[in-house]
Structure 1
């Protein structure tokens, strides 16, 4: 009993280390059996228990399993979550309609973010971002209201690209390149009807107007219109660009290497020292990797 309780406690800690952000409204895609079949048991279990986690951690989990199919999972598109699991969760919007978003962020990580229309068949962004933050969830200022409660406007020039469920998603994309962590949520939708009576110029600026909060305490966290947004992440970043959802980034580091090291020294695990350099997030990730290895041996 004591061992079982300890294992469960460690599993909870591992989950908490990686849980940081997810859209809660509109209802986004969730993991299901189709995702499990494509991405494998461990990746599915990881997301079923912690959908707030980042994509890089999912890739680390995938590195330890034999049933992960990178092509079928397509992990950079909606974190591998499948339309087949979410057919009953498709919103119907009209061009020019304003959509309110609520994002739950558990911990800040300075980065950039946007919400864009993504065509799922090609995993590409249609047009410009509907909204963009040049600084998002800053560790210096903390998470601000306009980063978790905001609105976007459905474009009036999508034509028939998003006429059928599964064709398009509204993708929330938060790229914390400084710690190489990317968070993503997808909302399935269709567009029907004609453009609203509002002028196209009004529609193109309504989302920014809806979320902008003039304040002197968070001047860096600007919300830009699509016309002025710098949509590309710094060239030095190892993470995908804020718009490049079609990039299938390979994991550069995996906890598998850590697990091997722990396995080799399992008889003297107490001698493994926690690294003293790096950020607190990196240290927690190291601890999570160690705990994951210990959990493997405990089972």
Structure 2
């Protein structure tokens, strides 16, 4: 039988609810917009416009079958492809060296992994200095999410100079890599330090990152996730940007991650916990006396099937 667009939109809404996982909620992060649609393609745009908490691997699954996906322009491993040109100037933060800035993060669906909060140079897609915060065990669904994973503060480094003086040159990026399920989440907040925050948004193509085949970020302070009875400690530092670091990139390959310099990819030491969103079935409507429509999907493949009864 035929289904109306309203039914399909309802189904898409349910799917996006199930696949949502985590993102910065304050300060206001980057979001999907027209510039993202032009760079990443219409379907990738809609994927994130309906679910900004989703993961990069989900975007890539959508992009694989789209002819309007431009990998270089999209730069999907930087801020999930969200473009600076879509940023509302009112959401560009203006901070000072040494300032302590509070953040909130929404963990919609926990998955064991590692995470860091870092200042990223958008032109090179590399961390400036070292991560401001690292989590060796983040979003672990073996226990209640610790408060310091959803509410934390960063201290703005005192030696950024003019590196982040222009809007769009730097972002604070929350990077969460859930190796237990091969899903990666990024959230970015635009800011300036030591310069004007009123610069007009520019096309993100002027700050293109290295090719997407580069290895994923790996924090030397982020060991493999381990399910324990208590959450791992969080290290918080305000490190000068000149400190040498092996964390040279935030991009990850679209297939098996390449080896990083002296740092092994995090490997879970226990069997992954069944995810509550791996497979679900929801009734999305009832029509007539005995006709029902069910939608069945899996978040890993993002395939949904409609059944009638």
TM-score, scaled to structure 1: 0.71
Question: 1: distance between equivalents of 2:75 and 2:127?
Answer: 16
Q: What is aligned with 2:33? A: 32
1:116-153 Cα offsets, whole Å, 9 max, x none, are 00000000000011111111111111212111011000
Number of aligned residue pairs: 237
Structure 1 residue 293, shift from structure 2 partner: 5.4
Select 2:181's aligned residue among 163, 179, 182: 179
Residue in 2 that maps onto 1:224: 235
Structure 1 match to 2:134: 132
Q: 1:291 to 1:71 in 2, by over 3 A?
A: closer
Q: Structure 1: 5+ residue runs without aligned partners?
A: 194-216, 229-241, 253-276
**Equivalent in the alignment of 1:284:** 279
Matched, 1:3 2:3: yes
In 2, Cα distance between equivalents of 1:42 and 1:178? 27
The structure where helix makes up a greater share of residues is 1
Change (3 A) 1:35 1:147: same
1:289 deviates by 6.7
Q: CA RMSD in A?
A: 3.0
**1:58 maps to what in 2?**
59
Query: In 2 relative to 1, CA 109–278 (structure 1 residues): closer, same or farther, beyond 3 Å?
Result: closer
Instruction: Please identify which structure carries the higher strand content.
Output: 2
**Is the contact between residue 60 and residue 251 of structure 1 (CA under 8 Å) also seen in structure 2?**
no
Deviation of residue 7 (structure 1)? 2.5
Residues 79, 109 of structure 1: alpha-carbon distance in 2 compared, 3 angstrom cutoff: same
Query: What residue ranges of structure 2 are gaps of 5+ in the alignment?
Result: 196-227, 240-245, 257-271, 281-296
Instruction: Work out the CA distance in 1 between the residues paired with 2:51 and 2:94.
Output: 28
Q: For the Cα contact (< 8 Å) 1:77–1:245, is it kept in 2? A: no
Residue 15 of structure 1 corresponds to 16
2:229 and 2:238 map into 1 onto residues whose CA distance is 22
1:248, distance to aligned residue in structure 2 (A):
4.0
Matched, 1:249 2:250: no
Contact 1:168–1:189 under 8 Å retained in 2: yes
